[in-house]
């Protein structure tokens, strides 16, 4: 789908690098068709050395020669990069922004023509091609633009198409979510140590258990509560653990964490 297309990644940091790796590993694009930008030459040199991509410190130059532009600078830098590139962006190009909290309307309002804009919200497991990305279309984006965005993010994991009103919630759930789950894994591992397991073994047991449980939910498409009931034999061990979780308020705590992250996503760009 990206053959014959030129891709520019403006601000190729963690997310940008994950996309480069995903697309090149999937043989979805020629390395000669990928241009990246960064804030510092050092970063460009590293990416050139690591992948063989083209690099420039000029966002404008990168955009001029691209069909698809991924904007992956920090939210606070979005406005200045947009003002750099707005004069050269054309309606035949596609702009995909992964910046948290930056709406498509904000970007469209700072652009001259009717530029197709897609907002995407990936997460860091994209680095291992196990990411989760939500994509939402701006007002000039057509179905083929959404398909292109899906294709790009499918190279680093799973992708869902969402209404833009859900993007801050997606940020709070699946973009922040890995941090919440690392705490769960760390706590399970700590528990393993408490009941006598060596730490390395406990961490591996905890992490693979989280991976496996996630895969069960996705691959069986069963409700998590049903899968939980299948583990919980009457008067067995698991129900005693579940009672502790309920008393400790794990559910409410996780719900509140996502609600707070979602609220923060709404104002991230301002401060
Ligand atoms: N990390 C996540 O979990 C995650 C999830 C979803 C969405 N996002 C969004 O993705 C975006 C990037 O996040 P990240 O974690 O990949 O950040 P990051 O690793 O800090 O990458 C940002 C990159 O932007 C470059 N940069 C800074 N100023 C620039 C400029 N004026 N022009 C061009 N490039 C510039 C930096 O280059 P130097 O290194 O040379 O300074 C850096 O490589 C953010 O908007 C974030 O909200 C992140």
Q: What is the DSSP string of 114-173?
A: ---EEEEE--GGGGGT-EEEEEEE-TT--HHHHHHHHHHHHTTEEEEE--GGGHHHHIII
* Cα of 267 vs its chain's centroid, Å: 18
Pick from 34, 1, 3, 40: nearest CA to 19: 34
pLDDT exceeds 80 at position 149: yes
Compute, in angstroms, the gap from residue 69 CA to the centroid of ligand 1.
14
What's the confidence (pLDDT) of residue 113?
87
- Residues 262-269 have a mean pLDDT of 86
User: In Å, what is the CA distance from 40 to each residue of 17, 19, 37, 196, 232?
Assistant: 15, 19, 9, 48, 54
**75 alpha carbon – ligand 1 mean position (Å):** 8
Mean pLDDT computed over 107-117: 94
Spans of all domains in the chain: 7-162, 175-267
Please give the number of the atom of ligand 1 that sits closest to the Cα of 80: 31
Output the pLDDT for position 269: 67
The CATH number of 7-162 is 3.40.50.720
Q: How far apart are CA 104 and CA 111, in angstroms?
A: 11
CB atoms within 10 A of CB 91: 12
This prediction's pTM: 0.94
Q: What homologous superfamily is domain 175-267 in, according to CATH?
A: ProC C-terminal domain-like (1.10.3730.10)
β 94-97/34-37 pair status = unpaired
SS3 of residue 209 by DSSP:
helix
38 lines ligand 1 (CB under 6 A): yes
- Ligand 1 pocket test: pick from 72, 130, 132, 135 the residue with the most ligand atoms within 8 Å of its Cβ: 72
Per the model's pLDDT, the better-predicted residue between 271 and 116 turns out to be: 116
Whether residue 143 is predicted with pLDDT greater than 80 in this model: the reply is yes
How confident is the model over 192-248, as pLDDT tens digits? Answer: 999 999 999 999 999 999 999 999 999 999 999 999 999 999 999 999 999 999 999
């Amino acid at each position: 789908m990206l053959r014959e297309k030129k891709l520019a990644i403006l601000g190729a940091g963690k997310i940008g690098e994950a996309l480069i790796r995903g697309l090149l590993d999937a043989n979805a694009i020629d390395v000669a068709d990928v241009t990246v930008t960064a804030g510092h030459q050092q970063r460009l040199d590293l990416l050139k050395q690591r992948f063989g991509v083209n690099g420039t410190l000029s966002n404008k130059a990168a955009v001029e020669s691209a069909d698809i532009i991924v904007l992956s600078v920090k939210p606070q830098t979005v406005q200045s990069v947009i003002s750099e590139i707005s004069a050269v962006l054309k309606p035949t190009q596609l702009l995909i922004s992964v910046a948290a909290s930056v709406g498509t309307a904000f970007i469209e309002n700072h652009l001259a023509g009717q530029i197709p804009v897609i907002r995407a919200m990936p997460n860091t497991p994209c680095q291992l091609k196990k990411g989760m990305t939500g994509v939402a279309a701006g007002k000039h984006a057509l179905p083929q633009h959404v398909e292109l965005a899906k294709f790009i993010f499918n190279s680093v994991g799973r992708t869902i198409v969402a209404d833009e009103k859900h993007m801050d919630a997606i940020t709070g759930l699946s973009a922040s979510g890995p941090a919440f789950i690392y705490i769960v894994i760390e706590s399970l591992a700590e528990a393993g140590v408490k009941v006598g397991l060596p730490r390395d073994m406990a961490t591996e047991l905890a992490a693979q258990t989280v991976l496996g449980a996630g895969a069960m939910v996705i691959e069986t498409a069963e409700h998590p509560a049903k899968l939980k009931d299948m583990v919980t034999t009457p008067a067995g061990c698991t129900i005693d653990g579940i009672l502790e979780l309920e008393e400790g308020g794990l559910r409410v705590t996780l719900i509140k964490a996502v609600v707070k992250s979602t609220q923060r996503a709404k104002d991230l760009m301002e401060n």
